[in-house]
Structure 1
Amino acid sequence: MTSTQEVPARQDSASIDDVEKKDVQTSSDEKLGYVETADSVPADNESEQLRLKEVEDLEARLAAGTADDEEYFVRNAHDIAIKVLSTRDDYELPVLTFRMLFLGLGFSAFGSVLAQLYYFKPQTLLVSQGFLLIMLYFFGKAWEKVLPSRGFWWHINPGPFNIKEHCSALIMASTASSSATAIQVISVQNLYYNNNLNPGIAIFTLLGSQLIGYSFAGFLTEALVYPSITFWPTAISPANLFQALHFDGGLSSKRTKLFWLVFTTIFCYEIIPQWIFPLMTGFSIFCLADNTSEVFRNVFGGASNNEGMGLFAFCFDWNLIGSACLYTPLWTQLNQNIGICLTYCLMSAMYYGNIWQGRRFPFMSQAIFDINGNQYNQSAILTNNKFDQAKFEAIGPAYFAASNALYFITANLAMGATLLKPFVRALNPWNKTVTIVHDEHYIVMKRYEKVPRWWFVALLVAAYAMAQATDYTGDSHFTWWQLTVVLIISLVFTMAYCTTSAILGFAQFSTQLDGFYSMIASYMVPGDPIANMYAALYGSQPTVQGILLLGDLKLGQYIKIPPKINFLVQILGCVVGALLNYVMELSIVRNQRAALLTIAGTRLWSGQNAQSFNSNAIAWGALGREMFSPGKTYYMVPVALALGALMPIPHYFLHRKFPKNQFLANFNTGIVMQYSCFLSVGINSSVNTSTFLGIMSQWWVRRKYPRWFTKYNYIIAGSLDGGTQVISFILNLAIFGAAGPTVFFPNWWGNDFSLSADRCAPPPDL
């Protein structure tokens, strides 16, 4: 059979620990029949059944604790698939039940309404998948216990709430539980350009922009869902949690007991750093020594938004740390860490070297400024919502904070450096080297019918028609050919970023994509901020949706959800989310318009997200040529895209010269560049803690304690996130102002309102 190391060297970063790669697989892989040959892929049902039998025997030994340490050791993507997760499929379990549809649609409505409320709140909160998973489990088990299940009631309550119902309901709810990018376009047009879209146009804009991403992802399923190498690290933790809750025998199993113990502990603990003792969100010894120094704040601070880079700071708030460090592959994290080290150097050099007159502006900010350091008067340069050259000359040029300009450059370098080699190699019909090996989860799933390819073709045709129709009827200023060009570019980058997400657990930042497509539109539709917003919408949304769809398809493969049901629940979630996103947006904008248009907002309502999206459209749409053309201040931003495409070339030749060098084999230029200005926005105090925990988990614990890692690492990741997200949801509703007035904990040394959370000098209030 084919080895799990069948991919080219450039893809080796998918391995968990390539430092330990050998020419021949270890004994545990040999026991499973994984010998390093490229011409022995099983071609008949008997050999596939033999593979499944061997894996089931291994799983039984792992569960019983009779396997040796070598068998527990997780070395690569295939090991995670068969050692951390079970291939078990209870084929007879009902999936498309009234209970699943009711809970899925109910939590889809709940999640989409909540996400839209949070979009217009002073504190933006995401409705997380972990939170929905836990809440669905509580409600599903309560449904199972409370309602009768005999006779007619069996259709309402068909026995125990099973893993397939649970996972299907979660996929539906999580699909709906976000504020779509189209909502930003709709709300900004309403608030700032007096363009109230017809309800039908608005809803079809929402649906079209999201369904295009689903159709793109459908064409990538064969390459990015079925193979072992595309193991989707983000899907491992929820899949592991599903199996622990439903397969481990209830509360009597060790894993389930550990899950609820950690869940309860972190639930109680998180009240302290999030409310009582905010200093725990960022402990900086430098700021404790001197809380008046701006240099200390910029370099060592990072516990408040846009405060500093957080060098040598440590965080004790899991809400900021998150579980990505526990499941992201080691080499992916190491590439990210290299980029973060570059961040410290580059951001400091740009600011203190006064590049682009950076000392005139804040160290970190996403606003646009005039030459005097004041916020730029954006509305004064527009006439009929389009750029007016005469007005611009009267007001003068606009500037970014140096760190924000650096972010645009490194984002374009990263996009240029992103390679499509894994995807092209997998689907190239002239390529004779076997690079795709389907693991045992895929073999089990072969009993279910696949989604026909023509479904995705039909979906793309319908979504494209919606987009074209709404562009012209919605006064977008975006023509048919401009939309088509943007979608073609979006397809290319959807392939690229879905590949990196599937193999490396690395996804793009949505702001990076918005900026890239805004840049493209500034040349296609110069001087028009509205058209610029639509370019960002139809460029970035398909990639974001494609990653979500493929990740959920992989989760469905791990849990053995029939593909057609998986497709159905995702489409239902998308439709419900779009409808309720729009209804809530319409209501909030109509009733809170005055508050949303003010800079500060109120305690309950804020238009900060819409304002930020509009500022981006102004910078690229109206001022694009004045800021980014050759000879202008930020001309290096578009040039960086071409430079980024050249950056991997030296690494390629070095790797060809030294093919056995593990650092060169796993170095990823795109990830390093992506993280080379990672700290230019937001709260950064968690970076060092996350780095430490990631190395401890993915290197030290995995190598020294393989039994513990295989059985408990991912379940702990899920419990930490679950407990944190549930208490964060409660705190945001009850205390932090998401559903009422903010309740501040009394002022004391660990919660000093006159300083940043880490007791650094507060950043300037702009």
Structure 2
Amino acid sequence: MASTEHVPARQDSEFTDDIEKKAHDSSDEKIGYVDTVTYSDDAEEELQLKQAEELEARLASGAAVDSEYLVKDAHDVSIKVLSVRDDYELPVVTFRMLFLGLGFSAFGSVLAQLYYFKPQTLLVSESFLLIVIYFIGKGWEKVLPSHGIFRFLNPGPFNIKEHGAALIMAYTASNSATAIQVISVQDLYYNNQLNPGVAIFTLLASQLIGYSFAGLLQEALVYPSICFWPTVITPASIFQALHFDGGLGSKRTKIFWALFTFIFCYEIFPQWIFPVLTGVSIFCLVDHTSATMRNVFGGASNNEGMGLLAACFDWNLVTSANLYTPLWTQLNQDIGVVFTYILMCAVYYGNIWQGLKFPFMSQAIFDINGNQYNQTAILTNNKFDPVKFAEVGPAYFSSTNALYFITANLAMGATITHVLCFYWEQLLPFFRMMNPWNKNHSVTHDEHFTAMKRYSKVPRWWFLSLLAIAYAMAQATDYTGHSNFTWWQLTVILFLSMFFTTAYCTTSAILGYQQFSTQLDGFYSMIGSYMAPGDPVANMYAALYGSQPTVQGITLLGDLKLGQYLKIPPKVNFLVQILGCVVGALLNYVMELSIVKNQRTALLSISGTRLWSGQNAQSFNSNAISWGALGREMFSPGKTYYMVPVSLAIGAIFPIIQYGLYRKWPKSAFLKNFNTSVVLQYSCFLSVGINTSVNTSMLLGVVSQWWVRNRYPRAFTKYNYIVAGALDGGTQVISFILNLAVFGAAGTAVPFPQWWGNDANYSADRCLAPAS
């Protein structure tokens, strides 16, 4: 095995001599000793690290030529956009880091729970947390004394590693856990509030299982440079601009704060004063009485329409994903969106599945007359009752929601085969490293990983022990919470979850493409319906323990990569992520109780309000009822939606066909980069939420990742990710303030006085408002 000791930097000639000597020796006798191979590998990796440091110096000084600035692949991003520098002596585990990390873990988890019940489901931006932590950390550094007894409170300058560890802890907590959906659905639709202890341990178990999976996958999906995690490049770039660029005087830092200030002030207009800016649709401005115009061209309000040809001027909806997601990933998404416009119109106006009887967009389930389905009327003791079902009649989805289930399953099948066909060769050596009996050493060839070799790794048994503890907690809460989800069902679901977590984390690591939890919920609800037929509550737990580990694994693996970029010791990373998981679970639960109690009417409404929506809970409950209670009646062969489960197998075929064509024409860039799983996932992308941002995001993605990257490589390498972080950071800060001050998150809402740009009689883009 390779040595984990740090090799001191030496001159290039010394490394070259070493490598040449080994090559010469190998010609005389076969190299059969592990230490000989290790020495050669370490020497080669150290040489690459030194070359990366020299390139970094040329890029920073402006001495490099344009071709050196050009970013062509994942490795270029990791060494040209980011620094491989490691200040080894910097303190990490300080009182200041722990205080800021825990404080913002609480803050981020509360904000995430607010966003979960919003019309547009947003995520807490890492950039937002990064900026606020930086402000307070630097203020702490300046205000408190740093000598004598105060050295414990203020150990000196607020450094990049303290900052990074606090951010990772906070961001780990800043997601609304899937378990919240189980808890809120039981409260909203079954009038069943879980015991607080059972609820909290259910949250913890589902979160920690995901972290255990992430830890077991890090050799394959964190260490190598092919897994560069595009979503963490922006925060890593901001960290280095703030801490390595010479403070506030550097050009990158000045640009960052200028854009941050501008967007902070500007976002008050689209979010509060002038909502028409969230979706400017010429068609709706001309005609705000037509339902067809609304369905096709509207989209600035929740579940309104597809937003075709609309423009969005609200960065809160556009977000910076288009600035950091690789070009081919975005092009695949764009192709899928084009299919969305065609397919959603086809299934609705073609009256497929009797779609015209139901809303154009909705996540609820309906009876044949278009009314919300009376789910309690078909249940006896929360289980399916065939006698009652015969009286109530069959249940239906809106046609676009049914289409989403089909495309999601197509994408899920395609994801597995695409990863196996296109990425298996590159990743296989690193998956072999996960085998504790493997004796072959794989050279990682990632300069950031080489720089991290001086730190001891987290032993694999830590993650295995954590998995065992979380598994025991899950089994205990399943029985004490009366979930009707048995031990063997949980075990099978977790094996499936580990398999799909591996596939989805691979696409996230390489493409920056993250699957949606609703897609996963639907799949595991389908599996749950075969395990526990007729039981919607057990079905929800199948979705929980299937999808949450994957969602959590993607987040935590990304943070492990961020820790590698920032050179945070692995054991410190482990500590802060565990703390973040625990704090996030507790605060998620407290906030959920408050919001469900105070906004119950809005959450139960189909369209919600401009400020509150239960669309996520509705969708989760629809899955549980449709699969758990009505699976055989809705999805069996010959039933209305039989194509939903069948599409999983069909989807797996598409990448195989593509791979066969690619092997025949290996020089085709299109066949190499076309991704059927991404295209299929986006082929009904607009069936939920606010959709006017899509066109703006598509345009900006091409401008950033194609035109600027190729035409102005210096500007792209230096400023693209800083611009992304500044726009996200300023937007998220003002969004949080507005949520507390005027949107009712902390009490009574204060709407802006009604005028033409804020007319409550219409949708935000002045289209005909969707029915409540």
Q: Same fold (TM over 0.5)?
A: yes
Superposed counterparts of 1:470-485, under 5 Å = 470-485=477-492
2:455 to 426, 448, 457: 448
Match of 2:244 in 1: 247
Residue 247 of structure 1: CA displacement? Answer: 0.9
Name the CA distance, whole Å, in 2 between partners of 1:118 and 1:698.
29
Residue 567 of structure 1: CA displacement? Answer: 0.6
What is the aligned-residue RMSD (CA, Å)?
A: 2.6
Match of 1:311 in 2: 308
Report percent identity of matched pairs. 76
Residue 426 of structure 1: CA displacement? Answer: 3.9
Name the CA distance, whole Å, in 2 between partners of 1:727 and 1:195.
36
2:622 to 612, 615, 621: 615
Residue 469 of structure 1: CA displacement? Answer: 1.6
1:425 to 424, 428, 438: 428
Q: Does 1:410 align with 2:382?
A: no
SS at the partner of 2:40?
Answer: coil
Match of 2:743 in 1: 736
1:64 to 54, 61, 65: 61
1:92 to 89, 92, 109: 89
SS at the partner of 2:474?
Answer: helix
Relative to 1, partners in 2 of residues 1:194 and 1:734: Cα closer, same or farther, differing over 3 Å? closer
CA contact (8 A) 2:430 2:442 kept: no
CA contact (8 A) 2:267 2:315 kept: yes
1:47 to 44, 48, 67: 44
1:671 to 656, 670, 678: 678
Residue 222 of structure 1: CA displacement? Answer: 0.5
The one-letter code matched in structure 1 to 2:695 is N
CA contact (8 A) 1:123 1:737 kept: no
Superposed counterparts of 1:193-208, under 5 Å = 193=190, 195-208=192-205
2:286 to 272, 286, 289: 289
Name the CA distance, whole Å, in 2 between partners of 1:732 and 1:44.
53
Residue 100 of structure 1: CA displacement? Answer: 0.3
Match of 1:555 in 2: 562
CA contact (8 A) 1:191 1:593 kept: no
CA deviations over 1:159-204 (Å, ceiling 9, x no partner): 0111100110011111112332222223333454454444433222
Residue 611 of structure 1: CA displacement? Answer: 4.5
Name the CA distance, whole Å, in 1 between partners of 2:696 and 2:228.
26
Larger mean Cα displacement after TM superposition, 751-760 or 383-392? 751-760
Name the CA distance, whole Å, in 2 between partners of 1:144 and 1:234.
29
The one-letter code matched in structure 2 to 1:750 is G
CA contact (8 A) 2:234 2:722 kept: yes
Superposed counterparts of 1:344-383, under 5 Å = 344-383=341-380
Residue 615 of structure 1: CA displacement? Answer: 3.1
Match of 1:579 in 2: 586
Name the CA distance, whole Å, in 2 between partners of 1:602 and 1:324.
26
The one-letter code matched in structure 2 to 1:232 is W
2:147 to 139, 147, 150: 150
2:297 to 291, 297, 300: 300
Name the CA distance, whole Å, in 1 between partners of 2:276 and 2:610.
23
Residue 596 of structure 1: CA displacement? Answer: 8.0
Name the CA distance, whole Å, in 1 between partners of 2:604 and 2:735.
27
Q: Does 1:339 align with 2:336?
A: yes
The one-letter code matched in structure 1 to 2:343 is L
Name the CA distance, whole Å, in 2 between partners of 1:362 and 1:697.
37
CA contact (8 A) 1:604 1:739 kept: no
Name the CA distance, whole Å, in 2 between partners of 1:594 and 1:452.
46
Relative to 1, partners in 2 of residues 1:288 and 1:174: Cα closer, same or farther, differing over 3 Å? same
Relative to the length of structure 2, the TM-score reads 0.90
CA contact (8 A) 1:190 1:196 kept: yes
Residue 519 of structure 1: CA displacement? Answer: 1.1
Relative to 1, partners in 2 of residues 1:714 and 1:434: Cα closer, same or farther, differing over 3 Å? farther
Q: Does 1:713 align with 2:716?
A: no
CA deviations over 1:445-496 (Å, ceiling 9, x no partner): 0111111011111111111111112112211101111111111111111000
Match of 1:4 in 2: none
CA contact (8 A) 2:603 2:612 kept: no
Residue 576 of structure 1: CA displacement? Answer: 1.6
CA contact (8 A) 1:111 1:174 kept: yes
The one-letter code matched in structure 2 to 1:581 is N
Relative to 1, partners in 2 of residues 1:242 and 1:405: Cα closer, same or farther, differing over 3 Å? same
CA deviations over 1:203-230 (Å, ceiling 9, x no partner): 2211111111111111110010010100
Match of 1:128 in 2: 125
SS at the partner of 2:683?
Answer: coil
Match of 2:705 in 1: 698
Structure 1: stretches of 5+ with no match in the other structure? 1-32
CA contact (8 A) 1:595 1:606 kept: no
Match of 2:27 in 1: none
Relative to 1, partners in 2 of residues 1:568 and 1:145: Cα closer, same or farther, differing over 3 Å? same
CA deviations over 1:241-291 (Å, ceiling 9, x no partner): 011011111111000000000000111111122222222211222222222
1:531 to 532, 538, 546: 538
Structure 2: stretches of 5+ with no match in the other structure? 1-18, 24-30, 32-36
SS at the partner of 1:476?
Answer: coil
1:324 to 316, 321, 324: 321
CA contact (8 A) 2:188 2:600 kept: no
The one-letter code matched in structure 2 to 1:263 is F
The one-letter code matched in structure 2 to 1:216 is F
Residue 579 of structure 1: CA displacement? Answer: 2.5
Match of 1:758 in 2: 765
CA contact (8 A) 2:119 2:689 kept: no
SS at the partner of 1:676?
Answer: helix
Larger mean Cα displacement after TM superposition, 75-84 or 301-310? 301-310
Name the CA distance, whole Å, in 2 between partners of 1:472 and 1:723.
45
Residue 348 of structure 1: CA displacement? Answer: 1.0
Relative to 1, partners in 2 of residues 1:228 and 1:372: Cα closer, same or farther, differing over 3 Å? same
CA contact (8 A) 1:210 1:542 kept: yes
Residue 598 of structure 1: CA displacement? Answer: 5.6
Match of 2:650 in 1: 643
Name the CA distance, whole Å, in 2 between partners of 1:523 and 1:631.
17
Relative to 1, partners in 2 of residues 1:292 and 1:608: Cα closer, same or farther, differing over 3 Å? closer
1:262 to 259, 263, 271: 259
The one-letter code matched in structure 2 to 1:678 is F
Residue 43 of structure 1: CA displacement? Answer: 3.1
Residue 580 of structure 1: CA displacement? Answer: 2.9
The one-letter code matched in structure 1 to 2:428 is R
Residue 429 of structure 1: CA displacement? Answer: 5.0
CA deviations over 1:48-103 (Å, ceiling 9, x no partner): 33222221111111111111101111111011101100011111100000110111
Name the CA distance, whole Å, in 2 between partners of 1:466 and 1:117.
27
Name the CA distance, whole Å, in 2 between partners of 1:496 and 1:193.
35
Residue 605 of structure 1: CA displacement? Answer: 8.0
Match of 2:12 in 1: none
CA deviations over 1:566-610 (Å, ceiling 9, x no partner): 010000111122233334445666x65975886488999876654
CA contact (8 A) 1:603 1:737 kept: no
Relative to the length of structure 1, the TM-score reads 0.91
Match of 1:723 in 2: 730
Match of 1:541 in 2: 548
Match of 2:229 in 1: 232
Name the CA distance, whole Å, in 1 between partners of 2:311 and 2:576.
41
Q: Does 1:164 align with 2:164?
A: no
Relative to 1, partners in 2 of residues 1:44 and 1:368: Cα closer, same or farther, differing over 3 Å? closer
CA contact (8 A) 1:89 1:559 kept: yes
SS at the partner of 1:157?
Answer: coil
Match of 1:747 in 2: 754
Name the CA distance, whole Å, in 2 between partners of 1:650 and 1:47.
39
Relative to 1, partners in 2 of residues 1:189 and 1:366: Cα closer, same or farther, differing over 3 Å? closer
Relative to 1, partners in 2 of residues 1:118 and 1:440: Cα closer, same or farther, differing over 3 Å? closer
Name the CA distance, whole Å, in 2 between partners of 1:614 and 1:312.
32
